[in-house]
Each structure stands twice: as structure tokens, then as C-alpha cells.
Amino acid sequence: MPKTPAKTNKKVPKNAQNKFYKGVAVVLIAALILVAIILKMSLFKAYPVDGAKQKLVIDQGDTYTGFIDQLAKDHKVNFPIILKLYRKVFIHDTMKAGVYEVSKGMNMRQVLLMVSDADNAQMNRVLVIEGTTTKQLLNTLKKDQYVKTEIAHLSTAEMLKALNIPYDHPEGLFAPDTYFFDKGASDKKILTDLYQRQMKILDAAWEKRDQGLPYENKYQALIMASIIERETSVDSELRQVSGVFVRRLKLGMRLQTDPTVIYGMGDSYKGNITKQDLRTPTAYNTYTINGLPPTPIALPSKKAIEAAMHPDNTDNIYFVATGNGGHKFSANLADHNRAVQEYLSVMRSKN
């Protein structure tokens, strides 16, 4: 039988092993250096600050993705994917609205962590939405942990007295906007600031109002502004809506606007208005009363106040929703009825 060749163990030369390990070490070191450079240019890059400190405003609804993308777009950070991965792995919360203070030298990682906790905010964000009511505003302040309650729990008369407001009803007197107050600011401080701002807006608009408006005083103009605010959310329609209601007042027509009916129904309103609701008299039911309701029905924006002072110059006295956003305005009942049928047709097609 042939002999089986003897097995031989060939050893890799020691020099070759050393070269291999050195090569691996060089690759690893190079990789670590590359990772370090990427981290330095992204996660550990200093947040851009003008001066020693800078305010960073985070609005309600802002997201980490949007925030990081904007930083990248502004060339303030490289490798945004690294920031997003860090947030996904290490930050299990959303951005919290508020005003934060970023000190010079803080890096991106520290800023990302800071804005995930509202306690880190230097100021408290108070959002007052145009078209909402004073009741909703007061409820917002009561629920805000950073607002000190002083007067929100008082009766309406007591609250108005505490604020030195010379009106019998608080509706419409506070300017809607986004505000930032010191943490711990009182509801009295906040409401005073909002009231003073609304009065400045109203006074300025009243001084520059069109001639011949059917308002006895600026308070009636504020009432009209609140109705305009509730009737449309389309800025380009504000003066058109104003024009319709101003002409109706001049012609002695009833305003017949649903938002006033809803306001007069108070807590009994459940989301729908019936024919019976339109026939039921209240101080705010403009289907049953002549002229303006006794008070505003919401918090009107500056744009709505301006529209109340400067209605359009058309002949329109009717308007109805289109069903696709916005309204169709008409100067006579026949055109209005056609617009109503068009609206009903659009709504049927959507069902």
C-alpha cells in the first residue's frame, strides 16, 4: 500500500503575524479617529451662540426631526443622522415648548437633552389662540403648572375689578398671541399684559377707522371683530365678512350669524345647531335680535380688529361656505341661494 504523506504544520512567520495585527490596529485606530471626528462635528459640536448666552425658543408641536433638519439646513451641524440616532436611542421624550437659555460652549447633545424637559426652560410659553374664548383662556392658565393662580378662581366681577378693567364682561378683552412669561408669573400679571395689549391694538385701529361705520364706540367695533374672527379663518376673507355685516347693520338687516347663536347657547351647545336653536331667543342670537350682541363672543386677533375698522367696498350682503374651504359672497338673495345649493351639492358628493 502506498504510504500516506506525513502531515506538516506550516507556521505563519512571526513577522507576517505582526504585520497583520499592526494592519488591523491601524484600521481600528483610523475608524475610531473617523468616528471621533464625526461625533465632534455633530453630537459634540458646540451649539452656535451669539455672545455668552442665547435664547432658544421651542414652540408647541416642534419636533426633534424638524429641529435637527433646520440646524443642518442652516449649516450649524454636520451629519444630522448622528443626532437623530442619538435622540432615538437615548432621549425617549418629545421636545417641550418654552424658552431655553443656551450658554456658550454647550454642545448639541446637551441642547437636545435640555429641551426634552420643560423644567429646564427659563420662561413659560402661554399660547392664546385667536377665536377662542376668555373661559378657555382662564382654563389654560389654571392648568398651567408654571402660572401662579391669583384671580382666575374669582367671580367675573371680582376678576375684572382686580384687573382694573372698566367693562362688565371679560370676553374679547385679551389679545390672542404666543407669549413667554417668567415661570411663576401670576395669572393677574398675564391677563393684565394681554388686556393692555388688546386695548392698544383697539385704540390704534379705532383712530384710523374708516368713516361712516355703524359703531357707536370702539367696544362695538371689538364685538364686530370677534364675530368676524369666528366666521372665517381665511385672512383674505376678513374684510369681506366685515363688509357683509357692516352693510347689514346699515340696512337694518339682522346679522344672522351662527357663532353668536353658539356663544349664547353656552354649555348646552353640543356641536350642532338646530332650527329650534335659531328660533330660541338669547341675548346673543342674532337671528332673533337686531344689531350687535351685547359683548364680543371670542378673542379677536389684530387682523380681525383691523378688518372691523376697514370693511370691503362691495355690495355683498350674503355669504356661505363653499365646502372646499372659504366662502362664496353674494350681493343678492338669488345668487346666494345658488351658492347655497352649490355648497349642498359639494357636501353630498363628499358623503
Where does the pLDDT of residue 86 fall: very low under 50, low under 70, confident under 90, or very high at 90 and above?
A: confident
Q: Does 6 have pLDDT greater than 60?
A: no
Mean pLDDT calculated for residue range 24-52: 79
**HSE value, Cβ hemisphere, 13 Å, CA-based, for 144:** 30
pLDDT of 17 reads 67
Mean pLDDT calculated for residue range 264-287: 92
Q: Which helix (H) or strand (E) holds 224?
A: helix 218-231
Q: Does 259 have pLDDT greater than 90?
A: yes
DSSP 120: G
68 CB-contact burial (10 Å; exposed 0-12 / middle 13-18 / buried 19+): buried
Mean pLDDT calculated for residue range 73-86: 87
Where does the pLDDT of residue 2 fall: very low under 50, low under 70, confident under 90, or very high at 90 and above?
A: low
Mean pLDDT calculated for residue range 203-215: 96
The whole-chain average pLDDT of the chain stands at 89
pLDDT digits (tens, 9 = 90+) for 98-133: 888 888 888 989 999 999 988 888 888 899 999 999
Dist CA 20 CA 90 (whole Å): 37
281: Cβ contacts below 8 Å, ≥ 6 apart:
288, 289
Q: Which helix (H) or strand (E) holds 50?
A: none
Of all residues in the chain, the percent with pLDDT exceeding 70 is 93
Where does the pLDDT of residue 13 fall: very low under 50, low under 70, confident under 90, or very high at 90 and above?
A: low
Q: Grid cell 347657547 — which residue?
A: 265
**Three-state SS for 284?**
coil
pLDDT digits (tens, 9 = 90+) for 155-165: 999 999 999 99
Residue 59 near residue 94, CB atoms below 8 Å: no
Where does the pLDDT of residue 186 fall: very low under 50, low under 70, confident under 90, or very high at 90 and above?
A: very high
Q: Does 22 have pLDDT greater than 80?
A: no
Beta pairing class for 53-58 and 327-330:
unpaired
Q: Does 16 have pLDDT greater than 70?
A: no
pTM (2 d.p.): 0.76
Where does the pLDDT of residue 207 fall: very low under 50, low under 70, confident under 90, or very high at 90 and above?
A: very high
